[in-house]
Amino acid sequence: MIKLRLKRYGKKREVSYRIVAINNTSRRDGRPLEELGFFNPRTNEIKLDVPAIVKRLKEGAQPTQTVRSILQKANVFEQVRA
């Protein structure tokens, strides 16, 4: 199953995350199928590739709880239903 989850990168105490589509048996920082966005919790900066995320969700990808909340704030799920 494909999951939409966060991939950690950056230095200690200066963490950032990439939102990626990845196989659920892969490790957290493993090679993703596709990078779909960026999230910086220190500055609350969010950049999303919305068409690619909508495509993955329609194919059946399951977001984690954290990614789900990020996508809800960006109103991505309304585009999936349309």
pLDDT, tens digit (0-9, with 9 covering 90-100), for 30-77: 888 999 999 999 999 999 999 999 999 999 999 999 999 999 999 988
* DSSP-assigned states of every residue in 17-62: EEEEEEETTS-TTS--SEEEEEEETTTTEEEE-HHHHHHHHHTT-E
Q: What CA–CA distance (Å, rounded) separates 78 from 71?
A: 10
Q: Which helix (H) or strand (E) holds 51?
A: helix 50-58
Say whether pLDDT at 82 is over 70.
no
- Specify the pTM: 0.87
pLDDT, tens digit (0-9, with 9 covering 90-100), for 10-21: 999 999 999 999
pLDDT reported for residue 4? 94
Contact (Cβ atoms closer than 8 angstroms) between residue 50 and residue 56 = no
